[in-house]
Amino acid sequence: MDIVLTVALILALTCLSAACIYLIVVLVRVRDILTGVERDLKEITVRALPVLDNVEYITARLKSITESVDDQVMMIRESIGSIREVADNVVALERKVQERIEGPILDTVAFVAAVFKGVRTFVDRVKG
């Protein structure tokens, strides 16, 4: 029985040694893969920095353009407000002129019409 136990022990230790060697090989491969990933990440980082700098520059330019557009929109709003005010003033002036001129003109037209009517009545009476 001692021989069977010794053989089983040798076999178990051999299997354990094989498992350890296999684990070492797997760990070496994992280390190589992780080294490759690290190298790739460094390359990505190196290449990404200029892109990020460009994005920052583009963002700053967009912000400046947006501010400029906002300024232009405000100027247009102010211009439209000024035009509206001028139009309101013109309408108010038109009303005032119409109120002041319309009455005397209608009175004058009525007076001239009355004069013509009177002259025509006079002429009709003189003829008749």
Q: Where are the domains of the chain?
A: 1-101
- Give residue 36's identity as a one-letter amino acid code: G
pLDDT in tens, the chain (128 residues): 789 989 999 999 999 999 999 999 999 999 999 999 999 999 998 888 888 888 889 999 999 999 999 999 999 999 999 999 999 999 998 888 888 888 888 888 888 888 888 888 888 888 87
Q: How is residue 116 written in tokens?
A: 């013509």
Q: CA dist 112 to 32, 69, 119, Å?
A: 115, 62, 10
